[in-house]
């Protein structure tokens, strides 16, 4: 024990005065001398010699060393208190801001004025799966859309399942549906996908009040509510882009946002600023599925890759995790993953309106067939009409669907 203590070093510049320095050096010499003396005495006794002649010296030495040990601990404690050691992650350590020569900018301040010490934290990249996106501090104030106050002053929705819907609402929806079917049916057996845009020019569609919310690379569409209650917006596939959601948040009050994407960063930080983020893909079956995703490190290049990602069933996500009875707005853009659950949008869930981007090119084995069956089922059931068709490239098609059957949707968005 004494040998261990004798090897403890205290930097001399940390000892407060000359007396402490001399005391420290003297203590160290005595501890080392006494340790050798104790070892020699013990060895002499083992060889059969008598220890009585060293008894008094041993007691004095032991008492002296014990006192010196107490002094050492006192000095060591004083050293710890004076240096104020703080354990923290270097990346989060606060660093003083000053000139390159080590002097603060306030070094020229007169002695009568107390200089202000400023500290700055370096930019720390909070990540869980890589590098790429860097967040800047928001300096501009949030400006609400003029429609925000108008929508916030709407009358309460009451019970949408039982509220009275005027006959003129049913007539308007019936007229829109008839004009849409008359436009789309004749071209369905032709190369209809690039020609569907012509139906967007129908006069009846103007009465629906479809408005845009531009994203970084595309446009989302919506019909704004006609009464006031909590709204739900579900984003499947965030893709490092939440500009449209942020604009929607500044326009439509009382909206709860829920977003899912298997790439955690930067989607988690971006979406969590206004909504709830879920770090998984949405499909039809649970497990691992090969999805086309945008990794964080490809933020600038926008280069998508195929990866095996954790997948949650669509209906389980909506019904059991989110516990939705109705989805007001859904924005679906998951790079081909939408084909996993398109057939479940017909009967198994109530969505008042949704944007979807179909990616047949990323599912060459059956994507065109699944898309064909979905569209023909839409026309057969007449639950949805679709507009804002945009054929962006071969095998990619954007569309906006409006529910014209479910009573709660009609009461909220058209009554």
How does DSSP assign 150-186, residue by residue? HHHTSPB---TTTS---HHHHHHHHHHHHHHHHHHGG
- In a domain? residue 184: yes
Report if residue 258 sits inside a domain. Answer: yes
What is d(CA 410, CA 170) in angstroms, rounded to the nearest whole number?
Answer: 8
Max CA distance (Å), the chain: 121
Measured CA to CA, the distance from residue 353 to residue 176 in angstroms comes to: 15
Asked if residue 121 is part of any domain, the answer here is no
**What whole-number distance in Å separates Cα of residue 260 and Cα of residue 279?**
6
**For residues 273 and 126, what is the distance between their CA atoms, to the nearest angstrom?**
14
- Residue 16 in domain: no
**CA-to-CA distance for 319 and 367, rounded, in angstroms?**
26
Instruction: Quote the CA–CA distance of 278 and 236 in Å, as a whole number.
Output: 10
Instruction: Give residue 403's Cα distance to chain centre.
Output: 31
Non-local CB neighbours of 289 within 8 Å, separated by 6+ positions: 281, 283, 308, 309, 311, 337, 340
Residue 330, pLDDT score:
98
SS3 (DSSP) at 360: helix
**Domain-located, residue 177:** yes
pLDDT tens for each residue of the chain, 415 residues long: 444 445 555 555 544 555 555 555 555 565 556 555 555 554 444 444 455 555 676 677 777 778 888 887 777 777 666 654 444 444 334 444 444 444 444 444 444 444 444 444 444 444 444 444 455 556 678 899 999 999 999 999 989 999 999 999 999 999 999 999 999 988 877 667 777 888 888 888 999 999 999 998 899 999 999 999 999 999 999 988 999 999 999 999 999 999 999 988 888 999 999 999 999 999 888 888 777 777 765 556 667 777 878 899 999 999 999 999 999 999 999 887 888 899 999 989 999 999 999 888 888 888 888 888 999 999 999 999 999 988 877 888 899 999 999 999 999 999 8
Look at the chain and report how many structural domains it folds into.
1
Q: Residue 312 is encoded by which pair of tokens?
A: 């949650």
Residue 96 lies in a domain: no
d(CA 406, CA 325): 12
* CA 372 to each of CA 9, 98, 335, 358: distance values in angstroms, whole numbers, following the listed order: 80, 66, 17, 11
In a domain, 240, yes or no: yes
SS3 41: helix
Decide if 123 is inside a domain: no
Domain limits at 339? 146-414
- Domain with 309 in it: what CATH number? 3.40.50.150
């Amino acid at each position: 024990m004494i040998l261990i203590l004798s090897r403890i070093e205290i930097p001399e510049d940390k000892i407060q005065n000359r007396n402490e320095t001399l005391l420290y050096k003297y203590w160290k010499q005595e501890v080392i001398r006494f340790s050798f003396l104790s070892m020699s005495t013990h060895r002499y006794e083992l060889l059969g010699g008598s220890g009585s002649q060293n008894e008094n010296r041993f007691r004095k030495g032991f008492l002296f060393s014990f006192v010196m040990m107490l002094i050492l601990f006192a000095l060591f404690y004083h050293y710890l208190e004076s240096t104020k050691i703080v354990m923290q992650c270097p990346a989060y350590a606060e660093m003083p801001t000053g000139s390159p020569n080590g002097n603060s900018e306030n070094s020229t301040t007169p002695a009568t004025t107390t200089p202000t010490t400023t500290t700055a934290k370096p930019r720390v990249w909070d990540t869980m799966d890589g590098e790429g996106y860097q967040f800047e501090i928001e300096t501009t104030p949030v400006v609400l859309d003029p429609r925000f106050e108008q929508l916030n002053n709407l009358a309460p929705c009451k019970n949408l399942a039982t509220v009275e819907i005027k006959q003129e609402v049913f007539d308007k929806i019936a007229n829109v549906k008839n004009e849409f079917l008359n436009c789309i049916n004749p071209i369905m057996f032709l190369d209809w996908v690039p020609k569907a845009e012509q139906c967007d020019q129908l006069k009846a569609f103007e009465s629906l009040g479809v408005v845009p919310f531009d994203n970084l690379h595309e446009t989302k569409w919506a019909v704004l509510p006609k009464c006031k209650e909590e709204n739900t917006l579900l984003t499947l596939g965030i893709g490092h882009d939440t500009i449209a959601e942020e604009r929607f948040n500044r326009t439509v009050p009382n909206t709860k946002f829920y977003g899912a994407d298997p790439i955690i960063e930067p989607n988690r930080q971006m979406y969590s600023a206004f909504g709830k983020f879920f770090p998984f893909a949405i499909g039809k079956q649970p497990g691992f599925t090969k999805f086309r995703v945008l990794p964080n490190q490809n933020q600038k290049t926008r280069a998508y890759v195929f990866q095996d990602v954790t997948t949650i069933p669509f209906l389980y996500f909506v019904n059991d995790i989110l516990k939705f009875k109705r989805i007001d707005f859904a924005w679906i853009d998951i790079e081909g993953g939408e084909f996993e659950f398109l057939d479940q949008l017909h009967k198994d869930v109530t969505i008042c309106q949704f944007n979807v981007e179909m990616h047949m090119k990323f599912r060459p084995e059956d994507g065109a067939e699944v898309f064909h069956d979905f569209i023909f089922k839409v026309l057969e059931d007449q639950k949805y009409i679709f507009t804002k068709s945009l054929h962006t490239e071969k095998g990619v098609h954007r569309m906006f669907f409006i529910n014209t059957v479910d009573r709660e949707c009609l009461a909220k968005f058209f009554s």
